[in-house]
Amino acid sequence: MVNEHAAAIDVGSRSHAVSIGAHHSQSKEYGVFTDELQQFCEWLVASGVKTVAMESTGFYWKQLFVMLQSYGLEVYLVNASFAKNIRGRKPSDMADSRWIWQLHTAGLLPNSFQPDFFTDTLRSYVRHRRRRIQDASRCINRMQKCLVLMNLQLPIVLTDIMGKSGQAIIKAILSGERCSDTLAQLADPRVKADKQTISRALTGFWKEEQLFELEQNWDLYHYYQKQIAECDQKIDALLSDQVQKKGANKLTYTPVKKKRRQKNDGPVPVEQYAYQLTGGVDLLQVDGISYQFIQTFMAEVGTDLSAFPSQGHFASWLCLTPNKKVSGGKVISSKTKKSKHRLRVAFKNAAVAAGKQKDSSLGHYYRKMKAKKGKGTAVTATARKLAIIVYNMIQKGEAYDPKRLEPKQKSGHRKRKIKHIQRTIEQLNVKSEEIRFE
């Protein structure tokens, strides 16, 4: 037994099943109310329990996790896939808790990564902000639908109907303007489509029910924009306080590589806060990494990666490494594990952005892998390389140097060219006297 004074909990939405031993008499069930959770924790302490393993289920474990820690217990949050049912056992909450207890006492259940208090708070704000952006996007889609149903083809002549020109035209429509020529004059001169084309696009059939739906989605969109701005204020205040607490405000950030801010990036200088909290590491230098990526990175994993012993552990945690299945010395499968982890998605999006850059070492690597293995493998492989670069930058305090990849790429390119020439010589049966060097 590795963990002698142990307990195991199967978390539920209405009750929690707990076991401190393998016998039925050593299992209990407690409710989820605060007074019941306090009795639960007091019983564990009175029973001499020192470590607790709990199977994660949705978000129901969070408050119990914090309360157990406040009672001085060492809490292991266990991945549900590591505690599967055994054959021949009746599936029930009590049986699950006893099975988790057996695994935990034998030391077979690894603890899942848990962020610190600051990162957890930032994560809540950033995820809520992301959901509000998605809600606002749905409102835009509904407004486009209303316009098209009235045969107002505004999405054809404007790239973004919520841009300066689009908002001016829709606002005028909701105010009662129906003349297409007058509406076309509201478009910004920088719009590629001419005024006549815009006027033709705004000639349609005015329907009362579609105008009503358009107005409600318009109001809802701006309400979401107001909430997104409030989230930005909270995120800015939280990051600023953390910089002050760590005394990192003395570090002055000077951007080496300026990147264009996207519409949903927000006004918060996340690159500056990341630079100060990581001790002078500028993540924005890395090809493919954007402002939104930095915000997601700080919210999901924080700025301290000491919980991961190596770069391989970090990449494996993100499910970006091959999951090899070997039998009889033969590799049956090496596909990466499926995961919807937000940081994993952010790394893959950054890999796609890096692959579009022509004069980039990562872009060259992405295109090479795409030609060899296909787009899916290229995205995952480039995302893994990005994860390793970011890990080393933060843990070792290294600056990003794209030239490190160039010697390997040049030598590999030379080897491939030589092999291609040799293959061509063999296919054409070229003799040595036919080869001339000038």
Domains: count for the chain: 3
Q: In this structure, is residue 74 part of a structural domain?
A: yes
Q: In this structure, is residue 428 part of a structural domain?
A: no
pLDDT at 97 over 90: no
Tell me: do 79 and 136 sit in the same domain: no
Per-residue pLDDT reduced to its tens digit, 142-197: 999 999 999 999 999 999 999 999 999 999 999 999 999 999 999 999 999 999 99
Q: Which of 216-220, 371-375, 403-407 has the highest mean pLDDT?
A: 216-220
290: number of CA atoms within 13 Å, CB side? 20
Q: In this structure, is residue 415 part of a structural domain?
A: no
- The alpha carbon torsion through 278, 279, 280, 283 (nearest 10 deg) reads -10
Last residue of a domain, one of 58, 78, 105: 105
Q: Give the per-residue pLDDT at 419.
A: 85
Taking alpha carbons only, the member of 19, 225, 20 closest to residue 135 is 225
* CATH code, 56: 3.30.420.40
The average pLDDT across 71-88 equals: 76
Written as one string, the DSSP assignment of 394-427 is: HHH-PPP-GGGTHHHHHHHHHHHHHHHHHHHHHH
Tell me: do 122 and 231 sit in the same domain: yes
pTM of the predicted model, to two decimals? 0.84
Per-residue pLDDT reduced to its tens digit, 295-346: 999 999 998 899 999 999 999 999 999 888 888 888 888 888 888 899 999 9
Grouping H, G, I as helix, E, B as strand and the rest as coil, residue 317 is: helix
Question: Could you tell me the residue range of the domain that residue 278 belongs to?
Answer: 261-406
Q: In angstroms, rounded to a whole number, what is the distance separating the alpha carbons of residues 432 and 136?
A: 69
Per-residue pLDDT reduced to its tens digit, 16-57: 999 998 888 888 999 999 999 999 999 999 999 999 999 876
Taking alpha carbons only, the member of 15, 21, 56 closest to residue 39 is 15
Tell me: do 31 and 97 sit in the same domain: yes
The average pLDDT across 209-232 equals: 96
Tell me: do 67 and 187 sit in the same domain: no
Tell me: do 273 and 231 sit in the same domain: no
Q: In this structure, is residue 434 part of a structural domain?
A: no
Q: In this structure, is residue 256 part of a structural domain?
A: no
